[in-house]
Chains A and B, each alone.
Chain A
């Protein structure tokens, strides 16, 4: 089944404790992206990747890191999480960026930073 998977689905952590949210897609898509969803703010793009070893900042990259060492995986790293990073995070992928293609979204990761 074609899908985007994220792990963990739920995470409660404390300020300053490094964490990684994994994202994997099995559709051989070139493009992957991370978003955060907050009430009243919609979806905001954190980072995106046009292909392996190519990443770029979205609208809200501060406090986050990403890597794209292989096509299928695009982990989101929070080196020192803070309470303002409490949010619902979505990973997405598409065959190519911005060519009318559909972005396939993962189920979301709900992160709480205490």
Chain B
């Protein structure tokens, strides 16, 4: 079955880069997503990557996809205190309703 795994915690200093990792097991995944959840709020989409891509960059965010190892990463450059949140990796499939989320990585940014 589908499974998405992430490490639970990451702590970095302000200005450093953060790298959040995710592994998934279902090779039929079509889309892989990164969502951000701030305290007391719902999830908000940060970025997504189609499964036939290797990399996607969007301002401070870089997503890398290694299909062979089923590994997805999110790099946040110049991490700020406002980036402190829980980050969820998720996968879904074209025209299918099921979505699978990881357990979330809590990113703490220290001044």
A, B co-complexed: yes
Chain A residues packing against B (C-beta within 8 Å) = 4, 31, 33, 35, 40-45, 48-50, 56, 58-59, 90, 92, 96-100, 102-103, 105-108
Top 5 A-B pairs ranked by shortest CB distance?
A: A105-B42, A42-B103, A43-B101, A48-B97, A102-B45
Chain B residues with CB under 8 A of A4: 42
B31→A105 contact, CB < 8 A: no
A42 with B88: CB separation less than 8 A: yes
Which B-chain residue is minimally distant from A6 (CB atoms)? B42
Q: Are A90 and B43 neighbours in the complex by a CB distance under 8 Å? A: yes
Residue pair A97, B42 in contact (C-beta under 8 Å): no
Point out the residue from B45, B92, B98, B102 that lies within 8 Å of A42, measured CB to CB: B102
List CB contacts (< 8 Å) of B19-39 with chain A: 30-31, 35
Residue of A31, A42, A45 with highest tally of chain B CB at under 10 A: A42
Q: Tell me whether A59 and B42 are in contact (CB under 8 A).
A: no
Residues of A within 8 A of B31 (CB): 98-100
Let me know if A100 and B50 touch, CB within 8 A: yes
Q: Which residues of A contact B103 (CB under 8 A)?
A: 40-42
A30, chain B: closest CB distance, angstroms:
10
- Are the CB atoms of B42 and A33 closer together than 8 Å? no
Contact B42 A106 (CB under 8 A): yes
Name 8 interchain pairs, CB-CB below 8 A, sorted by A: A31-B97, A41-B103, A48-B97, A48-B99, A97-B95, A98-B93, A98-B95, A102-B48
Output the nearest chain A residue to B1 by Cβ-Cβ distance: A59
CB–CB A43/B88 < 8 A: yes
A107 near B97 (CB under 8 angstroms)? Answer: no
